[in-house]
Chains A and B, each alone.
Chain A
Amino acid sequence: GAVVSQHPSRVICKSGTSVKIECRSLDFQATTMFWYRQFPKKSLMLMATSNEGSKATYEQGVEKDKFLINHASLTLSTLTVTSAHPEDSSFYICSARDGGGWSTDTQYFGPGTRLTVL
C-alpha cells in the first residue's frame, strides 16, 4: 500500500520556539493532506485540510497563525507549530489522500510525530 512518512518522529523543544513537522507521500501524489492532533487515549482531531498550491482550511477552534501549514508540492506538506507552549504537546498525525473525493480514494496515515514542549 501507499506510504506516508513524517519527520521527525519525536521532537522536544523549549517553550516559545517553533517546530516544523514534515509529511511526505512517498509513492503517490497527494493533492490533499490532512493534519490531526491526538491527545492520550483520545481519538484523532482534524486540525486542517491542506490542498496543494492553496491555503489550508482550518477546523473551528484551530488557530491558523499558530499552526502554519504549507503544501508546496504534491508530495510534501508541512505543519509549523509557532511559539510552542506546553499545552501544544501532543501527537500530530498527517494523512494523504490519493484522489479527489471520499467515494473512491484512500486515506493513508503517517506514523505520527510526538511533540513535547518543555
Chain B
Amino acid sequence: KNQVEQSPQSLIILEGKNCTLQCNYTVSPFSNLRWYKQDTGRGPVSLTIMTFSENTKSNGRYTATLDADTKQSSLHITASQLSDSASYICVVHYNNNDMRFGAGTRLTVKP
C-alpha cells in the first residue's frame, strides 16, 4: 500500500537549536519527494524537491536528504528561528501523476 509516514508528529525546540524531521515512504514507482512548510492558516510553500538521484539538497538553513534504497528522507533545520514554527509536510509523487501526503510534523520553536 502506498503510504507516507512522518515523525515525530510534533516537536518543540529552543530557538537556535537544530532539529531533524523524518519521512518514510512505501510508494512505488517513485517520482520525487517534496518538503513543504505550512504556516498556520496558510497554504504550503515548497522547500525542496528531491529526485531519485539526489541524496542531499540545501535551501538556506534547510537541508533535505533522500535515501531511495531505504525509502527515507529527512529535513534538517539548523539554527532554528521563531519563524520556523510551522507544520512540515512530506509529499511523495509516484506514477507520474499520483501523490501521497504525510500527516506532517508540527514544529514549535520557543525563545
Chain A contacts to B: CB under 8 angstroms: 1, 4, 6, 41-46, 91, 93, 95, 101-103, 106-112, 114
1/0 per residue B27-48: CB within 8 Å of A?
A: 0000110101000011111100
Are A102 and B32 closer than 8 Å at their CB atoms? yes
Q: How far is the CA of A41 from the CA of B42 in the complex (A)?
A: 12
A-B contact pairs, 5 of them (CB 8 A): A93-B43, A101-B97, A103-B93, A112-B42, A114-B41
In the complex, the 5 A-B pairs of residues with the closest C-beta atoms, listed nearest first:
A102-B93, A109-B43, A101-B96, A43-B104, A102-B31
Query: Which of A45, A106, A107, A110: most chain B Cβ within 10 A?
Result: A107
Q: If the complex has contacts A101-B97, A102-B31, are A43 and B103 also in contact, measured as CB distance less than 8 A? A: yes
Say which size band chain B's interface belongs to.
Answer: 20 to 34
What residues on A are CB-neighbors of B101 within 8 Å? 43-46
Contact (Cβ within 8 A) A103 B43: no
The chain A residue sitting closest to B43, CB to CB, is: A109
What is the bound-complex CA distance between A42 and B9, given in angstroms?
Answer: 10
- How far apart are B42's CB and chain A's nearest CB, in angstroms? 6
CA A101 to CA B97, docked complex, whole Å: 6
User: What chain B residues lie within 8 Å of A43 (beta carbons)?
Assistant: 87, 89, 101-104
Question: B82-111: contact bitstring with A at CB < 8 Å (1 yes, 0 no)?
Answer: 000001010001101111011110100000
**In the assembled complex, how far is the CB of residue B87 from the closest CB belonging to chain A, in whole angstroms?**
8
Q: Which of A42, A46, A103, A108 contacts B96 (CB 8 A)?
A: A103
Q: How far is the CB of B101 from chain A (nearest CB, A)?
A: 5
Whose C-beta in chain A lies nearest to the C-beta of B44?
Answer: A109
- Identify A103's interface contact among B31, B34, B99, CB under 8 A: B31
* Sample of 13 more A-B contacts, CB < 8 Å, known A101-B31, A114-B41: A1-B46, A41-B106, A42-B103, A43-B101, A46-B101, A91-B41, A95-B43, A101-B96, A103-B31, A103-B32, A106-B49, A109-B44, A111-B42
